[in-house]
Amino acid sequence: MTKQIKLTWVAKQHRFTKRWQGQRWYSKTNATLHDAMADFLQWRKEQTQGEYEDEQVRKLKLLGMHEEAKQFVEILQKTKDPQLAYMKSASVLPWTESEYQQGVFDEKVRVAEAKTTGVITTYGVELLNYLNAKEQDLSPNRYKVLLSHLMIFNKGAEFITLGEISLEQWETIHKEWKQKVTSGKWSTSYAADLLGSVRGFFRWLEETERTPPTPKFINASIYSFKKVKKTPERFTPSELELIFAASTDQQKLYWLLMLNCGMTQSDLSELDANQIDWKTGTLTRRRGKHDHQTSDKIPTVRYVLWKECFQLLKKHGNKKGLVFLHDDGKPLCGENRRDVIKPQWDNIRKETGITKTPKVFRKSGASALGSSVEFRSWRELYLANAGNSVTDVNYDGTTDLPSEVTQHIRGVLKI
């Protein structure tokens, strides 16, 4: 008895669908049941005819033999006969020379298939587990950086059996990274950060007992990338004078807040009216990048706003909701790298000839504090950063940053 074929109607899409042997088929939009059934039967026939070709090509691609797969398809298209194509491909395909070669090839395919399905655990499989674990611990931006780093590593290590990476395989991966640095595509700092992310992944594998101790060559100094130490950037008083002269009052407010409160574009974008005391002229904040963390090493800081900064804030800032919104009613920064401050800054750069970025406002304030013996200890609090050492202060509630600290910044930069 022939099994009846049933097609499913997708009302929202106005078309039929059917799942067959792991594949999803769709009819044309608004097709009748008769036409859809005819199209499906024709599609299924085509899939069956191509099954031999698809299976051989799939195996070749599984082993990374993309050139052999391409040549086999070309011969098959010319001969229209799978068996004849099989014979004519003897110089191309790795399994046509002997039964022994066929056996070796089949075993490689079996192992490769087992790795892709997780039967044999690979670095690629565990890397996904690691990313899932880290997503809960990291801010969205830091997670994106980690993800981009490990996806680069995954290209070379995805199918390597877990715990069996060899020195030769590691050197092949590292050599590719080194070439990127040499060609100028990557900076040494980027390569060093990428290597740090990869080494963190290996530490996690060892600490969670997923692998034996990490091979020594992974952490060997000969494979490290040395970061070039740069002189800390900061605006000079004359540069700030040019910037303020070329800015609107709204833009001047942005730059003053960045200097006064150690803020970035993202911090400005996330600033809420509730964080401002509109009577006393103070701003209280905990950096948005730390919102997902509960550590008491992350401070909530209250800043005393400079007189001009507060006046501009009362004039141009919203008293409810987000303090700053763009003309389109959306935040200044957001998804898809949205940053409406950047094009405004680019125009000022063209007018002044200053090549530095807005992040240098925050760095300038920190640098002014760091160069002073008296105020150096206040630098991390000014930046609202989480402490990293055992001697760092644990913060309970809101911590006031003395007005003398930011007044020192103002004096050094002659604002």
With 80 as the cut, is the pLDDT of residue 114 above it? no
Q: In what order do the strands lie in the sheet with 300-304?
A: 276-277, 282-285, 300-304, 398-400
- Do 29 and 15 contact (CB within 8 A), yes or no? yes
pLDDT of res. 136: 81
**What tokens appear for 18 in the block?**
């059917």
Q: How far apart, in whole angstroms, are the C-alpha atoms of residue 144 and residue 193? A: 13
Q: What is the pLDDT of residues 117-149, one digit of tens each?
A: 555 678 987 888 898 888 888 888 788 899 999
Higher pLDDT, 172 or 385: 172
Q: Can you give the pLDDT at residue 234?
A: 92
Question: Quick check: 54 and 69 in contact, CB under 8 A?
Answer: no
| 305 in Cβ contact with 291 (< 8 Å) | no
pLDDT at 61: 76
Phi and psi torsions of 324, nearest 5°? -120, 130
Percent above pLDDT 70 for the chain: 83
Tell me which range, 210-214, 225-229, 306-310, is most confidently predicted by mean pLDDT.
306-310
pLDDT of 30-74, one tens digit each? 888 778 888 888 787 666 555 555 677 777 777 777 787 788 778
CA distance 175 to 182: 10
Q: Where does the pLDDT of residue 86 fall: very low under 50, low under 70, confident under 90, or very high at 90 and above?
A: low
CA atoms of 214 and 205, how far apart (whole Å): 8
Per-residue CA distances from 76 to 62, 64, 72, 96, 99 (Å): 19, 20, 6, 15, 22
Between the CA atoms of 117, 123, 127 and 130, what dihedral angle is there, to the nearest 10 degrees? 110
Q: Which letter does DSSP use for residue 28 in this model? A: -
The predicted structure's pLDDT at residue 141:
79
Give the strand pairing for 398-400 and 300-304. Answer: parallel
User: Residue 116: pLDDT band by 50, 70, 90 thresholds?
Assistant: low
Enter the DSSP assignment of 283: E
CA 251/CA 367 separation, integer angstroms? 22
User: Quick count: other Cβ atoms within 10 Å of Cβ 6?
Assistant: 8
Please say whether the beta carbons of 283 and 261 come within 8 A: yes
What pLDDT does 292 receive?
A: 46
Half-sphere exposure of 199 (CA within 13 A, CB side): 16
Choose the weakest-confidence range: 67-81, 162-176, 297-311: 67-81
Distance between first and last Cα of the chain:
89
* pLDDT at residue 219 in the model: 95
State the pLDDT confidence band at 391, using cuts at 50, 70 and 90.
Answer: very low
Mean per-residue pLDDT, 400-409 = 96
β-strand partners of 282: 277, 304
More confident residue, 211 or 96: 211
Q: Please tell me the predicted confidence (pLDDT) of residue 45.
A: 67
